[in-house]
A and B are shown apart, each in its own frame.
Chain A
Amino acid sequence: MSTLQENPPPSSRRGPIIDPDYNFGSVTDKISSIVLTPGTHMGWWLGFGASFLLVMVMLWSIAVLFARGIGVWGLNVPVGWAFDITNFVWWIGIGHAGTLISAILLLLRQDWRTSINRFAEAMTLFAVSCALLYPLLHLGRPSYFYFLIPYPATHGVWPQFRSPLIWDFFAVGTYGTVSLLFWYVGLIPDLATLRDRARNRYAAIIYGILAMGWRNSARHWMRYQKAYLLLAGLATPLVVSVHTIVSFDFAAGIVPGWHVTIFPPYFVAGAIYSGFAMVLTLAIPLRAAYGLQGLVTERHLDNMAKVMLTAGLVVAYGYLMEAFMSWYSGNVFEQYVMLNRLQGPYRYTYWALLICNIIIPQLLWSRAVRSSPIALFILSLIINVGMWLERFVIIAVSLHRDFLPSSWDMYTPTFWEWSLYIGTIGLFLSLLFLFIRLLPMISIFEVRELLVEEAHRESE
């Protein structure tokens, strides 16, 4: 006993990744009861109602856009992309943390990922759904979006495979599909758990259909685990490729401020940064509302904060390199981009971005900040704002003053751009509210497995 106290195992020194009082039965009941308890909490209805109202705002904005055309937005000739692509990149980036947590941390055997991977994956899926709206909506003729699909059309025109925009269509399409598959495969055993626990006949039938007759057979588990592991191995390079290709949309262009080789790694780091910030934004209120502190522990928050700090430093390096290369290039247009960011009419966005993404997040070095859920929640919101500003600076601020001063112009977002953006946040939150009420937000079978691993670790 004395030796145990002198040399506590690493997990107990840094706080447990799961409350040691849980057992197979109680974790199953705890997580499945959130879904299966009849009667929905008032807070859920309020949250879902407010989000759903915003979905209506989104549909209204889309209806106006379709009826009156792209002219309802504030775009003009040098600034052909602004809120639309800013929001597309912002949403896609948020999605990336879900894949990172579920796939990369699985391959790295970071078992603390277990209790956060399910809703991080759901977040990915919903963020990708919001992101996918923008490339469709920003088309002048959105009804012809299917021209992107290579199919033998009577007009004989095919997509141009040498363009990054078509790469993006394949990348985001694959990413959305694979995220959905990965999420669904992860859900199958838990759907079977819900089928077996459900007391309501309709619930049992619906979960039963979705579980496809999963019966926890050891032979099935073996194939399941192999498939899941290999899917994680496939999702890992996929997630890196998606944001790399998103960055090619810019880097392959000649606009000053876009044509830089640092973009792919810098975009991927930014995606991880914003995604982890969004996971914290969602996880902190959820664990408080549903009493999940024993499953999503302070150790999880601490680990996520550290990943965020690291990604933030890589992003800071990206900003530094952008500034250095614009000076070192000796190119007057590249140099002007940087000056325009620092002193131009949109300078407040660049300075706000530096404060939100670089200066304030340095607080994460402090253990006290990392162990305070409220501080982390506020920081995560600041980083979400900062990462949105980053994309705005890269896209709209680079475009508004390109090569010829005679073509310079200012861009101001209109009401319909704001309403569409806020509407997509409503869509994202509505889907999340439905998800936490209808599906297990924590992977039940992986937590059971974690209990066994923790027990083994203690007995060693």
Chain B
Amino acid sequence: MFVTDMKPNPTKAWLMALIAWLIPGSGHAGQGRILRGALGGASVLAIFPCGVALGGHIYGLRDTSEGLLSSLFGFCDLGSGILWLGSRALGLAVSERPQLSTSEYGNVFLMVAGLLNFILALDAFDIGVGRKS
């Protein structure tokens, strides 16, 4: 399933970016960058549950609870890939918990997890097309 040769291939690069978005770190691991993939993926996978534990919640793309910013927050959260999909499907951390004083920190953790995974996916794409080693 994973690509191990180093020749630039745009189709495989897109596939790696998609896989990297879906499963944090897998884009690098699938292209032979095991340590980078493991470290990056573990970072995203650690930030996300920290955010949930702090009382953060996932914003929906059509969420309007905080105006237009909610959609932007939803886009940030979307970056977590399978974590975002799983949370939405299971109904985990989808409702606000304002009674927790750390809930805003939790929201930021969740958004940063998503944004970092977007960056990792873009990096995996760059490796796939040969822009980076």
Partners in one complex: no
Report which B residues bind A (CB closer than 8 A).
none
